[in-house]
Amino acid sequence: MKLIFATGNQGKMKEIRMILAGLSLEIQSMKEANIDIEIEENGKTFEENAKIKALAIWNYLKEQGEDNCIVMADDSGLEVDAMDKQPGVHSARFMGEDTSYVIKNQAILDKLEGLTGQERSARFVCTIATVYPNGRVTSIRETIEGEIAKESSGENGFGYDPIFYVPAYGCTTAELSLEQKNEISHRGKALSQARVEIERFLQEGEG
Ligand code: IMP
């Protein structure tokens, strides 16, 4: 059976393959599955967006006669409490899709100028929607709590990682290795739960 993950992001696919390794499933990105459809992510919440993506692909595959696939999609982003939980579902589009994260991150640091401690609280959120071959849809939500750092630091990861400070580790998520980040991150935790869910499905054959 195939599991198609609805993303074109290579960084995400790397994390996904690592966490879902060893399952008796062929894991494919949209590109590998030759799926090239435009999906409008117009949901108001992470949950809605993940479901919109997963169902759009599941429906497309069904139309193509592929009815034995699991489709998974995630939606994730950064919520900054002092910014009314923005950029939220607009994390990728914040200040424009093509604007570099050096600029986006600096803009957030500037907005939080003068705030300290808990006033800088923030979280990464990840939701994963899964559509099973019989059309059943499930949803998982996980977060990692942290603070917006005082300045950017670290070279690993992507996006907002250089400004996301994790007090328990005393560093930003851009200063963690991919393995360390996967253990504690919103996406790592959500994918681990998804793995448990898929393992149960493969064992019990429940749809
Ligand atoms: P998505 O690809 O629609 O889920 O958008 C996710 C956006 O949220 C990314 O483009 C990043 O801007 C941000 N984001 C989500 N997860 C992370 C993370 O682990 N590190 C840094 N930024 C993230």
Question: What are the tens digits of pLDDT across the range 1-44?
Answer: 999 999 878 878 888 898 899 999 999 999 999 999 999 989 99
Question: What are the tens digits of pLDDT across the range 39-67?
Answer: 998 999 999 999 999 999 999 999 999 98
Neighbours of 154 (CB within 10 A): 17
- Catalytic site residue from 67, 75, 81, 84: 75
The CB of 160 under 6 Å from ligand 1? The reply is yes
pLDDT of residue 67: 86
pLDDT of residue 206: 55
75 belongs to the catalytic site: yes
Nearest protein Cα to ligand 1, atom 3:
75
Question: What are the tens digits of pLDDT across the range 138-154?
Answer: 999 999 999 999 999 99
Question: Which residue has 């195939």 as its token pair?
Answer: 2
What's the total number of domains in the chain?
1
Q: Is pLDDT above 80 for 205?
A: no
| Strand pairing class (26-29; 2-5) | parallel
Residue 58's domain comprises: 2-204
Q: CATH number of the domain that 70 lies in? A: 3.90.950.10
Task: List Cα–Cα distances, 105 to 34, 83, 87, 120, in angstroms.
Answer: 34, 13, 11, 14
pLDDT of residue 8: 79
- DSSP notation for the chain: -EEEE----HHHHHHHHHHTTTSSSEEEETTTTT---------SSHHHHHHHHHHHHHHHHHHTT--SEEEEEEEEEEEEGGGTTEEGGGTTTTT-TTS-HHHHHHHHHHHTTT--GGGGEEEEEEEEEEE-TTS-EEEEEEEEEEEE-SS---SSS-TTGGGEEETTTTEEGGGS-HHHHHHHSHHHHHHHHHHHHHHHHHHH---
Measured distance CA(56)–CA(62) in Å, rounded: 10
CB-based contact 25:70 (threshold 8 Å): yes
The CB of 161 under 6 Å from ligand 1? The reply is yes
Nearest protein Cα to ligand 1, atom 11:
159
Question: Which atom of ligand 1 is least distant from the CA of 9?
Answer: 2
In this prediction, residue 103 has a pLDDT band, given cuts at 50, 70 and 90, of very high
Chain Cα centroid distance, residue 15:
10
pLDDT of residue 10: 82
Q: Which two tokens stand for residue 42?
A: 């117009």
The pTM for the full model equals 0.92
The CB of 127 under 6 Å from ligand 1? The reply is no
